[in-house]
Structure 1
Amino acid sequence: MKYIKEEIINFAQNINIKKIKFAKSKILAEKYNELKYRTECGYLGEMDFLKKTLHKRTNPNEIIKNAKTIIVIAEPYTANIKFSSKIKIAKYAIASDYHETIYNKLQQLQEFISEKYNAKSYISVDAGAVLEKEWAKQAGIGWQGKNSLIISEEFGSYFNIGVLITDLELEISSEEIKDKCGNCNLCMNSCPTKAIVAPGIIDVKKCISYLTTEAKLSEEINYEKEIKETAYIFGCDICQDVCPHNSKFQKNKQEISDVKIQELLNETENILFLSNKQFSEKFNNYAIKRLRLNRLKRNYKLIKNS
């Protein structure tokens, strides 16, 4: 198993995967109870797809028969961004859509283990019925902060996660990394809507990131004032930016170099005049396209008019 794992790590490095770790596949009984509790408390908002897939999300065998190993990769994004415009977006959304870039790398990894070891596998990049953050924690990518994000020594919390569930049995990584948040509550205290209701527990109905990326047009938004004050039109980084473990990644801040994102933030009123086709063509390679234009227009109006 060890030499197979080393071959996989070498292949991952060759395709520029920044970090790869391995966790033992198992039923996540504690996580199931936590998600059930969050559902009962209404903390999951209108994300019905989460509520309907609790068993599947906490049992890899419902995704891949005889699942043995969870392969987790982490891909960092630029954190030392200086916003010259009033309106902001989450930093992960400034670069190419991580769903696609990470998926492409995992697809290459999937083909490699299939051809070489006849292994079956399933890819998830923040879209499937997989608890990516939990597996990242168990694999030793980092520990889970009070803002629910995974924090690593190498990247802070400024990275995205991809998961490959496989029936290939591999040597697992070292044990979970010890929690290093201690008594710090900066993320909880800095959230303008107090969405972090307990360490690691988010009430998404209060979370600006959820409200500006996931909330349906039919959902009631009760935090127009806070959204306007923070000026986030897509996502939110407040709980990350105040984290002491992230401070070293924010030094020497630089202006956004991406022309399309610059235009979006500096000439935001133009959003109101875009057609769906123009929006899709302009932001085809960006995460913001997943929001859909009608919701982006709603977010702009919240910032401008509330």
Structure 2
Amino acid sequence: MELAQRHGFPLAGVLNLDQARGAISNDIARYDTWLGAGMHGEMAYLQRGRDRRTDPALVFDGAKGMLCVATPYGPRDGDEIASPATQADYAKYLRGRDYHVAMKERLEALLSEAATRFDFSWKVCCDTSAVLERSWAALAGLGWIGKNTCLIHPRLGSYLFLAEALLSENPGGAPRPMRDHCGKCDRCLTACPTDAFPEPGALDARRCISYWTLEKRGPLTLGDDDGAALGNRVAGCDICQEVCPFNRKPRPPLWDEWRDAAADATALRDWETLLNESEEDYRERVRRSALSWVKPHQFRRNLALSLASVAGELGQEVVQRLLGLVIRREDTESDPDALAAWTYCRARMEQALRSRVPHS
């Protein structure tokens, strides 16, 4: 679709909802099974919004059609696939401007231009107020849903932002799902350090690092194995995407909103700098990014647990220097969940100093 391409969406497809509803019934059944098994964890909004997510007409009264779009957000040129233990790591989708805002603005602009030629109304969805967007996108031919539950395109991979527009008119698009190209590959399943995939195509959020660091509220208590699996990840996790063969050559972002490293809230990765960051500075840093969905006390909790996880991999002088900052954080922390994490971090760092020969 030329119009979608001009607005920065290399992938786009339209659906006639009357024709597509039957085709999505299996996905709805799997979603209900997933909810019934409690694999959504504490994300109660997924259960509360079940009907709206499975029936677009409840989101936009009179919806007859749907436009699905996607744009890549893969690693920028020169980006490392993953950060080493000497610095914090973030999921790639958190870089740059908040995708909820950017995607909606771009899609609204596309629709406004289309409305100069055609008479219709619409409602834009992107993650929040969402329908089952990966399922609809797959039916619209934007890719297939992989064993890691991500939408995968054979050329663009899985680092994709998705958005939808529910339309008052029927665009006439029949479902045209793409063939599943995963085959026997199970790299995403075996690479997951927490075994968060009980079966292909099913993610147990309760075992997922992204859920722990982005969605889990309150205390986060990890055993030794889970603590080691967390590693240096302070917000989100990309492991199941990093190992995917279709992401060997991921498409870098097309939009300035995610290309500009200077505006990247996740560029701050140095442990010492993060430990010295005030709550006000954190709020300012993440203000325009999707990282703003992670509250300051939640990020401090994550920071403490991640640093505890990698303490044994850092040199002695580094651990000693950081330990002083951790103790200061512990002494001044007001949030009980973050305080528990700082106390745990302090113990792990002291243990690292006692129990192993340091390396530089």
**TM-score interval w.r.t. the shorter chain?**
0.7 to 0.9
For residue 108 of structure 1, report the CA deviation from its aligned partner.
1.3
For residue 145 of structure 1, report the CA deviation from its aligned partner.
0.5
- 1:20 is matched with 12
Contact 1:151 1:157 in 2 (8 A): yes
Q: 2:268 aligns with which of 240, 243, 264?
A: 264
Give the partner amino acid of 1:225. G
**Which whole-Å CA distance do the structure 1 matches of 2:168 and 2:238 have between them?**
36
Find the structure with the greater CA-based Rg: 2
- 1:47 is matched with 43
Give the partner amino acid of 1:76. P
**Which whole-Å CA distance do the structure 2 matches of 1:217 and 1:153 have between them?**
39
SS in 2 for 1:196: coil
Give the partner amino acid of 2:60. I
1:49-69 residue CA offsets vs partner (Å, 9 max, x unmatched): 110122221111112223222
1:12-59 residue CA offsets vs partner (Å, 9 max, x unmatched): 233232221112314343233212211121101011111012222111
- 1:66 is matched with 62
Q: Which moved more, 1:266-275 or 1:146-155?
A: 266-275
Length-normalised TM-score, structure 1: 0.86
**Which whole-Å CA distance do the structure 2 matches of 1:29 and 1:128 have between them?**
20
Contact 1:75 1:159 in 2 (8 A): yes
RMSD: 2.5
Higher strand share: 1
Contact 2:8 2:71 in 1 (8 A): no
- 1:90 is matched with 91
Contact 2:73 2:251 in 1 (8 A): no
- 1:5 is matched with none
**Which whole-Å CA distance do the structure 1 matches of 2:221 and 2:230 have between them?**
16
For residue 227 of structure 1, report the CA deviation from its aligned partner.
4.3
**What 5-or-longer segments of structure 2 have no aligned partner?**
253-258, 310-360
**Which whole-Å CA distance do the structure 2 matches of 1:125 and 1:250 have between them?**
21
For residue 235 of structure 1, report the CA deviation from its aligned partner.
0.9
1:59-90 residue CA offsets vs partner (Å, 9 max, x unmatched): 11112223222111111013252136532111
- 1:234 is matched with 235
Contact 1:224 1:302 in 2 (8 A): no
- Over 3 Å counting, the alpha-carbon distance change for 1:19 and 1:76 in structure 2 is same
What number of residue pairs does the alignment pair up?
292
- 2:293 is matched with 290
1:120-159 → structure 2 map (5 Å cutoff): 120-159=121-160
Aligned pair 1:178/2:210, yes or no? no
SS in 1 for 2:106: helix
**Which whole-Å CA distance do the structure 2 matches of 1:219 and 1:44 have between them?**
16
- Over 3 Å counting, the alpha-carbon distance change for 1:38 and 1:17 in structure 2 is same
Give the partner amino acid of 1:101. A
SS in 2 for 1:289: helix
1:83-118 residue CA offsets vs partner (Å, 9 max, x unmatched): 365321111222322112111111113333445433
Contact 2:95 2:266 in 1 (8 A): no
**What 5-or-longer segments of structure 1 have no aligned partner?**
1-8
- 1:100 is matched with 101
- 1:30 is matched with 26
Higher helix share: 2
SS in 1 for 2:269: helix
SS in 1 for 2:248: helix
**Which whole-Å CA distance do the structure 2 matches of 1:245 and 1:33 have between them?**
28
**Which whole-Å CA distance do the structure 1 matches of 2:6 and 2:162 have between them?**
18
SS in 1 for 2:60: coil
Contact 1:228 1:303 in 2 (8 A): yes
Give the partner amino acid of 2:34. R
SS in 1 for 2:173: coil
1:242-253 → structure 2 map (5 Å cutoff): 242-249=243-250
Contact 2:156 2:251 in 1 (8 A): no
The percentage of counterpart residues that share the same residue type is: 26
For residue 247 of structure 1, report the CA deviation from its aligned partner.
1.1
**Which whole-Å CA distance do the structure 2 matches of 1:203 and 1:226 have between them?**
19
Length-normalised TM-score, structure 2: 0.74
Contact 2:125 2:164 in 1 (8 A): yes
- Over 3 Å counting, the alpha-carbon distance change for 1:263 and 1:199 in structure 2 is closer
Give the partner amino acid of 1:89. Y
- 1:6 is matched with none
- Over 3 Å counting, the alpha-carbon distance change for 1:124 and 1:268 in structure 2 is farther
For residue 271 of structure 1, report the CA deviation from its aligned partner.
4.8
- 2:343 is matched with none
**Which whole-Å CA distance do the structure 1 matches of 2:274 and 2:12 have between them?**
41
**Which whole-Å CA distance do the structure 2 matches of 1:52 and 1:215 have between them?**
17
For residue 221 of structure 1, report the CA deviation from its aligned partner.
5.2
